[in-house]
Amino acid sequence: MPPIIPSPDRTVSLSALRSLLQERSVLAALQVFHDQLGSIFQIDLPGFKPVMLSGPEAARFVLVSSREDFRWRSEGDPVTALLRHSVLVEDGDTHDWLRRSMNPALHKSMMMRYTETMSRCADEVICTWADGSTRDMLVEMRRIALLILMETLFKVDLTPDMQRLWQPILKSIQYISPGLWVIWPGTPRPGYAAALRRLDDYLFQIIRARRATPGTADDLLGMLITIPDMTDDLIRDQLLTMLIAGHDTSTALLSWTLYLLGKHPDAMRQVQAEVLSTLGQEVPTLEMTAKLAYLDQVLHEALRLYPPIHLGQRRAAVDLEFQGYTIPAGARVMYSIYLTHRMGAYWDDPHQFRPERFNPENRPQPYTYLPFGGGPRNCIGALFGQVEAKIVLARILQQTTLTLAQDNVHAHMGATLEPRPGVMMRIQRQIQRSAATYP
Ligand code: HEM
């Protein structure tokens, strides 16, 4: 008989519950399970029994060596219901075709075109911050990330529709976030249909408008409409995926980074000095962002401590063997990026913010650092997300000095890992309005 995958007993469960209540985060409970049970354990709730994996061996197993034996699509899950035939929830040839269709819009060669738009969208929001005011950076970063995503990848200015679509967008994120449906998949979920319909109407309207006036195909939407088998329904699925996956992650990364800098004023001063000495008040170009070495380390460390996508979810397609345990076909499998990023065996003082650990001499060991996943289904927007984060932070630090106004933040597991209830920061303006000129 193969050994049974360990599950938390009563004592471990009570200790996990204590941590959960203390830190107001399910992640604290997962940390207890991991510390007590190791790199493979099974959560044992009624109707929800995922096998949790963590550490480099598990990452290599899920992302590379056995990846063909896992499925991304899980019928009945809200993410499949919402995104239907998106690259994110398709497998096999369909997935590969969709990914190939979208890759060119996120290729390095496109980033040069996007950088100026990224700065302009950041400035559009930053210029609304009054000197001496306090703002929630979780909200502000979402506004910036939404404007950037829509304008770079769909060539649509969201500004006039932002207010009207804000709630539907938040509702769509909430719809795919963990909730009671995890334990009782049939749980009624009232209140979403109208919001999701409004978002769909908007997406179909921009697809129709673009088909009517295609212009140049130098953005994602422009490229998708030129592909013969790409129906409006399929395009809608990809646009909604990019809209959610491409802005909610950046919102989390930017707001966690500002929070960490607010908690560590020395790092904030150092990063701001680097930005000002490298860029002055210039609008950053792609080459200039490559010179922001300390900002790069800060972003890596924020992604390590608070990876916006903190776990990857799969279904085992066949019976699988991992470290002597059998994972049965059909089991829900989750590999935890968060736990892997905080393993004492690979990271000194794993819970501490130390950007220097990412200086170029210290390369993390293989498969210990996975903020963008790994293998052939790694994040398609990894470069986009990193360039965007540098540009937005650079524009903020060129124009303002920020201090943390409240420190009551905990890590909330939504569709991404979010700093809740928000990141309140006091704004001191260095210059009243952006001096940047755009064509
Ligand atoms: C800070 C920013 C980002 C982070 C941390 C992040 C993280 C990730 C991770 C960890 C995965 C793999 C998940 C798994 O293995 O289960 C992933 C996949 C994906 N990401 Fe990102 N992401 C970011 C930005 C973006 C952006 C900007 C876009 C689009 C513009 C995007 C679109 C996607 C898509 C479509 C996939 C699925 C790829 C596939 O299955 O082939 N992400 N992301």
Q: By three-state DSSP, how is residue 275 classified?
A: helix
Residue type, position 3, single letter: P
Which residue minimizes the CA distance to atom 42 of ligand 1? 381
- Å from CA of 381 to ligand 1 middle: 6
CA–CA gap between residue 392 and residue 124 (Å, rounded): 11
Tokens of 151: 């304008």
What residues form DSSP beta bridges with 413? Answer: 417
In this structure, is residue 423 part of a structural domain? no
Q: Which atom of ligand 1 is nearest to the CA of 86?
A: 35
CA–CA gap between residue 295 and residue 273 (Å, rounded): 10
89, 94, 372, best to mutate for ligand 1 pocket (most atoms within 8 Å of CB): 372
Say if residues 95 and 101 touch (Cβ distance below 8 Å).
Answer: no
**Per-residue confidence (pLDDT) for residue 255, from 0 to 100:** 98
- Give the predicted TM-score (pTM) of the model: 0.97
In this structure, is residue 347 part of a structural domain? yes
Beta strand 320-322 pairing with 70-71: unpaired
- Å from CA of 372 to ligand 1 middle: 6
Long-range contacts of 63-66, Cβ-Cβ distance < 8 Å, separation of 24 or more: 63/312, 63/335, 63/367, 63/370, 63/373, 63/374, 63/375, 63/377, 63/378, 64/374, 64/375, 66/320
**Per-residue confidence (pLDDT) for residue 311, from 0 to 100:** 95
Burial of residue 401 (CB within 10 Å: 0-12, 13-18, 19+) is middle
Say if residues 274 and 293 touch (Cβ distance below 8 Å).
Answer: yes
* Spans in the chain with pLDDT lower than 70: 432-435, 437, 439
Provide the residue range defining the domain that includes 359.
1-71+310-370
Q: Which atom of ligand 1 is nearest to the CA of 220?
A: 30
- Å from CA of 336 to ligand 1 middle: 15
In this structure, is residue 48 part of a structural domain? yes
- Å from CA of 377 to ligand 1 middle: 9
In this structure, is residue 85 part of a structural domain? no
Handedness of CA 381, 386, 388, 392 (dihedral sign): positive
In this structure, is residue 146 part of a structural domain? no
Q: By three-state DSSP, how is residue 129 classified?
A: coil
- Å from CA of 241 to ligand 1 middle: 10
In this structure, is residue 341 part of a structural domain? yes
90, 249, 390, best to mutate for ligand 1 pocket (most atoms within 8 Å of CB): 249
CA–CA gap between residue 428 and residue 430 (Å, rounded): 6
Say if residues 371 and 303 touch (Cβ distance below 8 Å).
Answer: yes
- Residue 253 Cβ inside 6 Å of ligand 1? The answer reads yes
- CATH number of the domain that residue 354 is part of: 3.30.43.20
- Å from CA of 309 to ligand 1 middle: 8
In this structure, is residue 41 part of a structural domain? yes
Selection from 251, 286, 253, 249 nearest residue 108 by Cα: 286
Which residue minimizes the CA distance to atom 6 of ligand 1? 372
The pair phi, psi for residue 418, each rounded to 5°, is -115, 145
**Per-residue confidence (pLDDT) for residue 434, from 0 to 100:** 62
What number of H helices and E strands is found in the chain?
16, 12
- Residue 67 Cβ inside 6 Å of ligand 1? The answer reads no
Tokens of 195: 């919001």
Per-residue pLDDT tens for 323-350?
999 999 999 999 999 999 999 999 999 9
Please report, to the nearest 10 degrees, the dihedral formed by the alpha carbons of residues 245, 184, 75, 31 taken in order: 50
Say if residues 405 and 424 touch (Cβ distance below 8 Å).
Answer: yes
**Per-residue confidence (pLDDT) for residue 432, from 0 to 100:** 67
In this structure, is residue 204 part of a structural domain? no
- Å from CA of 96 to ligand 1 middle: 15
- Residue for token pair 């890759």: 103
- How many domains does the chain contain in total? 1
- Residue 250 Cβ inside 6 Å of ligand 1? The answer reads yes
